[in-house]
Chains A and B, each alone.
Chain A
Amino acid sequence: METVLAFVIGGLYAAAIYMLLRRSVVKLLIGLGLLSHAANLLIFTAAGLTRGRAPVVTAGAPAAVIADPLPQALILTAIVIGFGVTAFALVLVFRVYSTLRTDNLDRMREADA
């Protein structure tokens, strides 16, 4: 499954980077979203996969094989932060569009100059 996921991650990265390279800023935002999926999945996979057991210890019971909690804590943080960033970027784009009337990044650059 690790091999399969490696290809999934590669596909997500490819899609994200292609979208990031677009001139339409909304596509760029979608690329940003895909990029964070790719990065989270990368951390998750690289740390090693464990089927089933969540990282929860049972009271009194001997330690069973459980998933690694550390990458999970990292990713949980990353997901929520990603939401904050996406929301801010989206609203920023929205405001820029309502001022400049364009979503073309090249035109925004001209407006800047």
Chain B
Amino acid sequence: MTSFILTTTARLLMPLLFMFSLFLYARGHNEPGGGFVAGLVAGAAWVLYALATDAAQARRALRVQPQSLIGWGLLAALTSGLIGLVLGYPFLTGQWIRLDLPGFGAFELGTPLLFDLGVYLTVLGVTTTIVFALAEE
């Protein structure tokens, strides 16, 4: 099921899709986007790669086990909740700090962003786990 055109296109599209997914994740808090969509875009990129080449090659290229991405994702989401807990707030209460980077301007970092990263990783892991496993049949 490998075709030259598809393989080439996939190779070209992959970086673009990844950048798009990071872009969606980064702006998701203030504009349409967010961890779910971004994770799905990244997942779709890997699915495309797996279809264009084959699942084994995609698995090698991903380097990490897709299932472990799920684990990291859940861990990140859980950690973001625990930070609030440790600071004496209810579980999952958002905590924010403001960074002033000279030259870049003000910058806000908060546990919801970590939580969204967890969602991103989980969704990515779930899509790749399912599609790779099915494609290898």
Residues of A in contact with B (beta carbons under 8 Å apart)? 54, 56, 76, 80, 84, 87, 90-91, 94
A56 touches B30 (CB 8 A): yes
- Distance A87 CA – B36 CA, assembled complex (angstroms): 17
Return chain A residues, CB-CB under 8 Å to B126. Answer: 84
Binding site for A on B (CB under 8 A): 30-32, 36, 40, 123, 126, 130, 133-134, 137
Per a CB cutoff under 8 Å, which of A56, A76, A91 touches B31? A56
B32 and A80 contacting across the interface, CB-CB below 8 Å? no
Q: Is B36 touching A56 in the complex (CB atoms < 8 A)? A: no
6 CB contacts below 8 A, A to B, read: A54-B32, A76-B36, A80-B36, A87-B130, A91-B130, A94-B134
* Interfacial chain B residues near A94, Cβ < 8 Å: 134, 137
A residues in contact with B40, CB < 8 Å: 80
What is the distance, in angstroms, from A105's C-beta to the closest C-beta of chain B?
22
- Within the complex, the shortest CB–CB distance from B79 to chain A, in Å, comes to 21
Instruction: Pick the contact of B32: A56, A84, A87, A91 (CB < 8 A).
Output: A56
User: In chain B, what residue has the closest Cβ to A87?
Assistant: B130
Q: Which 3 interchain pairs have the tightest Cβ spacing?
A: A87-B130, A54-B32, A80-B36
